[in-house]
Amino acid sequence: MIDDKIEVTTQRVDKYLDITTRARNKATPLVEENSDDGKRLAIMLKMADDYTFDARHFLKIGDYVRAFGAINYAHAWIDAGVKLGLLDGHGDDVLFTLP
């Protein structure tokens, strides 16, 4: 059996913070802000932003596992917005799971 142990390090968390920040900046709304879907999207993006904030906090205090988990949750919220057609991922199949 091969030991595939991967450690959660500052560098690994920083990498995913960068990926998530690029995804957040690239994705653009496909729905009207005041529509029901627009309101749902606003909630999703707030969740992404809040989890990103949490990830940075956890990284700052040295809790790399929670930081890594939080940034992955953040990215998942953005990715879900693209997958559901609420956000345009602009064809980027590296940052997003495209529909």
Q: What is the CATH number of the domain that holds 78?
A: 1.20.1270.90
Residue 48 is assigned to a structural domain of this protein = yes
Which residues make Cβ contacts (< 8 Å) with residue 95, sequence separation at least 6?
A: 19, 22, 23, 26, 89
pLDDT digits (tens, 9 = 90+) for 27-39: 999 999 999 999 9
pLDDT at 1 over 70: no
Please report the pLDDT score of residue 98 as a whole number: 86
Which residues make Cβ contacts (< 8 Å) with residue 74, sequence separation at least 6?
A: 20, 24, 47, 48, 49, 50, 51, 52, 55
pLDDT digits (tens, 9 = 90+) for 68-91: 999 999 999 999 999 999 999 999
CB atoms within 10 A of CB 47: 17
Residue 97 is assigned to a structural domain of this protein = no
Whole-model pTM: value is: 0.92
What is the residue range of 46's domain? 10-88
Residue 1 is assigned to a structural domain of this protein = no
pLDDT digits (tens, 9 = 90+) for 52-73: 999 999 999 999 999 999 999 9
Q: What is the mean pLDDT of the chain?
A: 95
Please report the pLDDT score of residue 30 as a whole number: 98
Residue 40 is assigned to a structural domain of this protein = yes
Please report the pLDDT score of residue 99 as a whole number: 74
